[in-house]
Structure formats: structure tokens, C-alpha cells
């Protein structure tokens, strides 16, 4: 999965383990979302924040209205044909009105890969816990 297309982060992300990827997502305020509607004139986007549980189910957490950057249409171009995306926001991940600072589309295949990874990590953790 390509999370962000920057010269700095792309090489780092390619070599991350699943747990370090989650830590990176939390540190830089990334979130997995389902794109609902984009209101270009109002410069806002409605999304549903998602999580993936230990069984690979996609769980809707909450509906959010996020601001689009005022002078940058690139995020709209990235998201206009996307069903799922990974967004980075300036502000609180739990808050309406946070401004999107980067976006990367996520295909259904990429989402399914993330679901499989989550299942594998959960199973490995369960095995480790049982061996203690």
C-alpha cells in the first residue's frame, strides 16, 4: 500500500513492519476512510473513518466532515474517483473540521491486503500470547 507519495516517506514506508506502520499512522495523524461526498465549492469532504478488526472486518467508526486545503486542488483530484483512501490531517483525527494535508487512494485490492495482514498479525499475537 502506498500511503503517501513523498520523497521522504515513500522509501521508509516500503520497509516498515505492520506494527511500525501503525505507529507511523498514529504519529502523523493518518486515517483510513471511505469517501462519501466531496463538496468542491464548500471545500469540504464527507468521509467515514474506518478500522480493521482482528478478523479482517472493516468497521465504520464515525462520520467526519473534513476541510480541503484552500489553494490546492490536488487532493480533490486524488479523491474524486476513490472509494477508499488514507488521509493525513492537520488537527485532531476525531474532530470534524480538521484540514486534509495529504491523501492517497486505496484500491479494494489494497484494502483486502491490509485486511489479510491484520488477520495474520492478530493470529501471530494470539499464538505468542498462548505460548507464554
Three-class HEC string of the chain: CCCCCCCCHHHHHHCCCHHHHHHHHHHCCEEEEEEEEEECCCCEEEEEEEEECCCCCEEEEEEEEEECCCCCCHHHHHHCCCCEEEEEEECCCCCCCCEEEEEEEECHHHHHHHHHHHHHHHHHHHHHHHHC
pLDDT of residue 95: 74
* Tens-place pLDDT, residues 47-106: 999 999 889 999 999 999 999 988 888 899 999 989 999 998 887 766 788 889 889 999
Percent of the chain predicted with pLDDT > 70: 74
**Which CATH entry fits the domain spanning 9-49+61-105: 3.40.50.2300, 3.40.50.300, 1.10.10.10, 2.40.50.140?**
2.40.50.140
Q: At residue 32, does pLDDT exceed 70?
A: yes
pLDDT of residue 24: 57
Amino acid at each position: 500500500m502506498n500511503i503517501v507519495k513523498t520523497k521522504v516517506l515513500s522509501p521508509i514506508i516500503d520497509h516498515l513492519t505492520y506494527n511500525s506502520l501503525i505507529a507511523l499512522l498514529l504519529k502523523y495523524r493518518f486515517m483510513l476512510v471511505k469517501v462519501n461526498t466531496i463538496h468542491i465549492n464548500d471545500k469540504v469532504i464527507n468521509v467515514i473513518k474506518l478500522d480493521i478488526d482482528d478478523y479482517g472486518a472493516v468497521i465504520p467508526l464515525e462520520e467526519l466532515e473534513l476541510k480541503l486545503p484552500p489553494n490546492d486542488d490536488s487532493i480533490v483530484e486524488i479523491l474524486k474517483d476513490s472509494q477508499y483512501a488514507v488521509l493525513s490531517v492537520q488537527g485532531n483525527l476525531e474532530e470534524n473540521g480538521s484540514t486534509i494535508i495529504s491523501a492517497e487512494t486505496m484500491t479494494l485490492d489494497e484494502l483486502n491486503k491490509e485486511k489479510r495482514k491484520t488477520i495474520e498479525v492478530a493470529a501471530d499475537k494470539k499464538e505468542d500470547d498462548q505460548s507464554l
